[in-house]
Amino acid sequence: MNNIYYNTNNVLEGVVLKAIIYCRVSTEKQSQETSLARQAEELKALSERYHFQVDDTICEKASGYDLDRPGILEILEKIKDHQIQALFIQDETRLGRGNAKIVLLHVLYKLGVKIYTISHQGELQISEADSMVLKIISLVEEYQRKLHNSKIKRGMERAVRAGYRPEQNLSNRGENAGRDRKEVPLEEIIRLRNMGLTFSDIAATLRGFGYSVSKATVHRRYQEYCQENQVNHRDTHVN
């Protein structure tokens, strides 16, 4: 634990850390009700030992192979809305099994959530195999981001080389910074298309300037414009 931020009571200087307790069984058998109650009781004690304030206790009966579980979805919502720092579970199989477990571990770690388990009597220690898979997933995501950014940069550079001047053409550039614009700038799509850019490059260029548009959207709006204005064109395919 990072001593720069945390004192020995696991409290962020002046801020009580909050956690969620998650209990799961896979069947509807009556005997499983006892298991849920036992899990909740043991996890409550563990959270107190590590000085966490329990924001909620979520129990459900569902298969660990299912990702679309109401309890899990509620946990993810609460983590984002309630600033939850930790999740307490009996063991990693309660979180999920197979691919579902790997996905949830990846999502929780990305959200900065620590996972505590009864089986480890502390923070979850994942296996070397799971650790390797999570590293591969993170690496793939990082390269996907780099590729996405490269496509945007390529589209913007190609547009500028073709004579496109965003500071002149996008009059609302800089307004509502950090928020996706819902309107699609049709005039700019037409202008860029006339410069010879592909629909992929046009979409990437507009995304670079804050417009949340896909290649399919750009192509569809351009085709609609051509049909409405009876423009002769050869854009019968998406490129």
Query: How many domains in the chain?
Result: 2
Same domain, 165 and 111: no
Say whether 44 sits in a helix, a strand or coil.
helix
Of the residues 83, 109, 132, the one at which a domain ends:
132
- Residue 152 tokens, joined: 């945007």
Same domain, 107 and 178: no
DSSP codes, 139-189: HHHHHHHHHHHHHHHHHHHHHHHTT--HHHH-TTTTTTTTS-B-S--HHHH
Sign of CA dihedral 189, 180, 104, 146: positive
26 given a catalytic annotation: yes
Q: Which residues pair with 61 in a beta bridge?
A: 25
Would 101 be classed as within a structural domain? yes
- Residue 97 tokens, joined: 């099994």
Domain CATH for 88: 3.40.50.1390
Indicate which residue of 26, 131, 138, 150 is catalytic.
Answer: 26
- What pLDDT is recorded for position 232? 55
pLDDT digit string (tens) for the chain, length 239 residues? 343 344 445 555 556 789 999 999 987 776 677 889 999 999 999 999 999 999 999 999 999 998 889 999 999 999 988 889 999 999 999 999 998 999 899 989 988 999 999 999 999 988 888 888 888 887 777 777 777 777 777 777 777 777 666 555 555 444 444 444 446 788 888 888 887 888 888 888 887 777 888 888 888 888 888 888 876 554 544 55
Gyration radius (Cα) of the chain, Å: 25
Q: How many CB atoms lie within 10 A of CB 38?
A: 13
Would 237 be classed as within a structural domain? no
Say whether 26 sits in a helix, a strand or coil.
coil
- What pLDDT is recorded for position 175? 47
